[in-house]
Amino acid sequence: MARPPSAQATIDGYWRRSAAIGALAAAIVAWPDAMAQTPREAELEVRLNQLEAAVTALKTELTRARTDQQASAHMAQKADDRVAALEDEPATDGFQIGGTTFRIGGFVKMVGSATRYDDGAVPGGALGKEFYLPQQIPVGGRSSRDMIGHARQSRLFFETETVVGAKALKSHIEFDFGLATAPVGAQRATNPYTPTLRRAFFTYGDWLVGQEWTAFQNPALLPETTDYVGPMEGTVFVRQMVAQYRRSLGDGLSLTLSAENPQTETVTPAAADLVDHDNDRMPDLVAKLAYEGAGAEWHVAGLMRTLSVDDAGAGDRAMGWGVSGGARIDFGPQGRHDLRVLATYGRGIGRYLGLGAVADVVDDPARANRLGLVSNLSGYAAVKLGWTDSLRSTVMAGYHRAYYPSDFTVPGLADRAAYSLAGNLFWTPVEHLDLGIEYRHAQRDVVSGLSGQMDRLEMAAKYTF
């Protein structure tokens, strides 16, 4: 099929036709005026008038063509400018009111589990029924079984961002239902659970103030799991009031300094129940050096804290400390696999481990120096294997060991050690939807020598928005 002529070709044709018509008209006009008009001349005059009208029409058409060409070029330029503007415009989500951008997100998560306890039963409403909590594995009893389903781990967060001066002032508020104590009879009818505050902080420049993960922890290293945390006994796990200063050192390195809310957790010779004390005089201090780059990240953190007990003027203080280091290394095709490890050691840091796994100190009021520091060693390792872009597995192991001071009396039911092994399979059939199944075996040992074991099969479905 022949291509239509361009606008420029059309204009050139108009000019050639106009020139020919003009030449013919000039030749006719050049006839002598004195000659009488013959019929032939009359016919030529008629044709001349027609040719003049045709020239006028061609000029009009030529002017219109030129105008259309300029308009087309202008419209094309405007379209190009609009496309360029859209390409340069940054992608944003959320909505804006005034100078503040608001964002909402979170996920809906359903969990169902079947559990067998070898050495006792977990009381109704206990958190250990709904996620893995090693200190609640029963010891010294008869075996029991449990099945439960819930949506308590569902989460909701709100974020804001406002440009103030040359920097962005940001805030983050986050809730879930996972740590609220289950009301009596909750499963009987309506399963109501109270929203609990997870995180609430604001940032400005290099500063962060509010309730956030302790700088002693890196939650990004936690493995994927159907459980609330996974290898709970092996991880640092604390959210609290912090005032953090984070400075980029370049090349992926950063330094974080943090002053955090203190809390002393004790156990007495008479009872294994943990007791919280609010007599602390100094914040817990954390320093962390971290690196994050393509295919890898790592951190090393140090913690210093003053532990205090004060009963009506009679009390004692001790110094606690801890070090923790972890890493994630991607490997395999397209970096679909990764290895994650964490190791922590310290004295007087029990509440920082495994959701308060053990006490920071043994408190014996009968002694002059009543506080005995508890030493701790914990860690985990996890390997993720990405079979395809939508199918993956994680195998993980966690371990914790508490070393009580040898010259203090320690209750027999105080936790001494715990470990767990788990493996899972996750499938993402569509974007934002994750389906997983996981098996976990765990054991808890106490000071008296008793132990308890747990086996759990768990399934989860999570929609992230």
Contact in structure between 420 and 444 (CB atoms under 8 Å): no
What is the pLDDT, as a whole number, of residue 35? Answer: 44
**Measured between alpha carbons, how far is 283 from 306 in angstroms, rounded to an integer?**
8
Please give the C-alpha separations between residue 42 and each of 28, 49, 53, 321, 391, in angstroms, as whole numbers: 11, 11, 17, 119, 93
pTM of this prediction exceeds 0.85: no
Laid out side by side, the sheet with 361-363 consists of 271-277, 264-268, 361-363, 371-373
Q: What is the mean pLDDT of the chain?
A: 88
What are the pLDDT digits (tens) for 12-63?
Answer: 554 455 555 555 445 444 444 444 556 666 776 777 777 777 778 767 777 7
Residues in the chain: 465
Joined together, the tokens standing for residue 106 give: 């979170």
- Which CATH architecture does the domain made up of 95-464 adopt? Beta Barrel (2.40)
Q: What share of the chain is helix, strand, coil (3-state, %, to 5)?
A: 20, 50, 30
What is the pLDDT, as a whole number, of residue 91? Answer: 47
Name the burial class of residue 421, with classes exposed (0-12), middle (13-18) and buried (19+) by CB atoms within 10 angstroms of its CB.
middle
Joined together, the tokens standing for residue 137 give: 């594995």
**Measured between alpha carbons, how far is 231 from 223 in angstroms, rounded to an integer?**
8
Helix axes 7-29, 39-88, angle to 10 degrees: 160
Please give the C-alpha separations between residue 448 and each of 137, 143, 164, 204, 405, in angstroms, as whole numbers: 15, 19, 59, 51, 15
What is the pLDDT, as a whole number, of residue 178? Answer: 87
Closest CA to 380 of 276, 225, 275: 225
Q: Which residues of the chain have pLDDT under 70?
A: 1-41, 44, 58, 65, 68-92
What are the pLDDT digits (tens) for 251-281?
Answer: 999 999 999 999 999 999 999 999 999 889 8
Joined together, the tokens standing for residue 18 give: 């106009």
What is the pLDDT, as a whole number, of residue 389? Answer: 94
Contact in structure between 434 and 412 (CB atoms under 8 Å): no
Cα Rg of the chain, angstroms: 39
